[in-house]
Structure 1
Amino acid sequence: MFMAIENKKISQIVIEQIQEMIMKGELKAGDQLPPERIMTEQFEIGRPALREALKALEVLGLVERRHGLGNYIVNNVESNFFKPLSLSFKLNNGNVQEILQLRFLIETFTVREAAKMATTEDTFRLKEKQKTMIEAESPHEKSQCDKDFHFEIVRICKNGLILSTFENASYLLENFIGQAVYLSYFTAEDSIDRIYEEHQNIINAIEKRDADLAASFMNIHLNNIRPELLHEI
C-alpha cells in the first residue's frame, strides 16, 4: 500500500504519500488507515516518525485519531484553523487591493449562479441574515452578519471548490469586511444604511432569478468599498 522511504525528512514524505493517495482517489473520507504497526513496516520507518506525520495530517484536517479505533481519513480541512491561503498571503506581503480582486472574481460569479439556483429556503436565509445584520447592535456583530451574508451566496451556488477557496481565505475576508463595515458605521457620508440597501437589491435580484441584475448589484456593492481607507490586512 505504501512505499518505503529513503532520504528527505521521513515524516514529510509520509505526509506527501498520504496526500497523493487522497488526490488519486486511493484514500477517501471515512477510510481507516492500517494499524500503526503495519504502516511502520510498509514505510520502513520508526513509530515516532509515523506519529509525527499523522499528527501533522491531523492538524491539516485530513486525519482523525479515534480512541480505541485507529486513524481515519476525514475532510475537516474547511473547518480547520489552519488557513494556508491566508498565511501565504501574509508572508508574501499581500495588499488590500488583492483581496478586493479575489472578492470580485468569486462573488460576481457566485451571485449569478445563486440567481439561477436559489430556492425559496435560500432566499429566506439571505433575508434572515440581512435582518440580523440590521438588528445587530455593534459594528463587530454587524460585520459578522455581513460576512455570513456573502458566504451564504457562495454556498448557494453549490461549487465546493469555490467555497473551499472562500473559506480558506476567511481570516482575510473577515478582517476586510470588518473594516469596511466599521467605516460605514462611523462615517456619515458612507452610511451603514447604504450596505443594507445594496444587500436588499442583491436579494431582490436573486429572488427574481435575474443573474445579470444580481451581478450588477454585486459590482456596485463591491465598487463602493474604498480600499485606500482600509488598514493593512
Structure 2
Amino acid sequence: MESREYNKVINYIKELIGKGDLHSGDKLPTERELAETLSVGRYSIREALRIMDAMGMIESRQGSGNYLITNIEKNLTETMALMLLVKQVDYLQISQLRRAIELYAYGCAMRYLSDSQLKDLTDLVEKMKQNTGRDKALLDKQFHDRIIAGSKNTLIISIMDSLSKVCSELIEKVVTESAPERELTLMTTHENIVKGLVTKDLSLGIQAIHLHYDLIDSEISR
C-alpha cells in the first residue's frame, strides 16, 4: 500500500509538470496540500520527496519548501558512478561514449559557433600551453565544454557533463601527468580541433578528436 502511495505522489507531480502547471523553479505543493489532494499519509509523501530528490527532480530549501529543479546532470552522474562501482560499466566504455558524443557535437559546433566563440577556443589553447597542473586541467575542461555547448543540444550537454564528472580524476591525470612527448601530442590535438573549426575542415577535427581519446584510452588501459 505504501509503495503504491508514494508512486501516486510522484505520478501526481509528473502530471502537474506534463499539464504545464509546474515548471522548473516552481515550489511544489506542501506536504499538507499533497496529503489532502491525494488522500495519502505524510510518510508516503516524504518517501516520494526523498526519491524525487535522489532523482534530481527537486531540491529541498530549509524553511521554504521543495522546488522543482529537473537536475538531469545530478541523476545521470550518480547513476553512472553507481554503475562504475558495481562494475556494470568501466572507464573505457564511458570514454567510448564521450568520444561518440564529442564527435557528433563537433559537427554541430562547426555550424553554430561564432567567430568570437572560435577566438575564445583559440585563446583557451594558448592558455593551456602556458599553464600546468590543475589550472591546465580546468582549461582543458572549459575547452571541451565549449565544443559540447556548440551542439546547442541540452540533452547532449547534460549527458556529457555527467560523464565528465564521473571520470574527472582520470582526465586530469592524462592532462597533467603525461610524458612530454604525449603532452605535446595532446596539445597538438587541441590545436587541430580548433583549426578544423576555423577552416571548416571536418576531417581534420575528427582525426584530432579520435587521437585525443586514443590518448585517454591508452591511459585507462595501462
Task: Report the alpha carbon displacement of residue 90 of structure 1 after superposing the two structures with TM.
Answer: 2.8
What is the TM-score normalised by the length of structure 2? 0.82
1:28 alignment partner, SS class: coil
Pick which of 8-17 and 122-131 moved more: 8-17
Contact 2:26 2:67 in 1 (8 A): yes
Please, what is the CA RMSD of the aligned residues?
3.0
Mapped partners of 1:172, 1:69: distance in 2: 31
**Identity of counterpart residues, as a percentage?**
29
Mapped partners of 1:96, 1:67: distance in 2: 37
Distance 1:224 1:65, change over 3 A: closer
Query: AA paired with 1:117?
Result: Y
Mapped partners of 1:129, 1:25: distance in 2: 41
Task: Report the alpha carbon displacement of residue 25 of structure 1 after superposing the two structures with TM.
Answer: 5.8
Mapped partners of 2:13, 2:22: distance in 1: 8
Q: Is 1:209 matched up with 2:200?
A: yes
Question: Is there any run of 5+ residues in structure 2 with no aligned partner, and where?
Answer: none
Q: What is the match of residue 102 of structure 1?
A: 97
Query: AA paired with 1:78?
Result: E
Q: Is 1:223 matched up with 2:214?
A: yes
1:123 alignment partner, SS class: helix
Task: Report the alpha carbon displacement of residue 104 of structure 1 after superposing the two structures with TM.
Answer: 2.0
Mapped partners of 1:41, 1:221: distance in 2: 56
Question: Is there any run of 5+ residues in structure 1 with no aligned partner, and where?
Answer: 1-5
Q: What is the match of residue 169 of structure 2?
A: 175
1:179 alignment partner, SS class: helix
Q: Is 1:74 matched up with 2:64?
A: no
Contact 2:92 2:217 in 1 (8 A): no
1:163-185: per-residue Cα shift (whole Å, max 9, x none)? 1111122333313312322442x
Distance 1:94 1:188, change over 3 A: same
1:1-233 to 2 correspondences below 5 Å = 6-8=1-3, 10-11=5-6, 14-15=9-10, 17-19=12-14, 22=17, 27-66=22-61, 70-78=65-73, 83-138=78-133, 140-184=134-178, 187-190=179-182, 192-227=183-218, 229-230=219-220
1:191-224: per-residue Cα shift (whole Å, max 9, x none)? x222222101111111223333322221232234
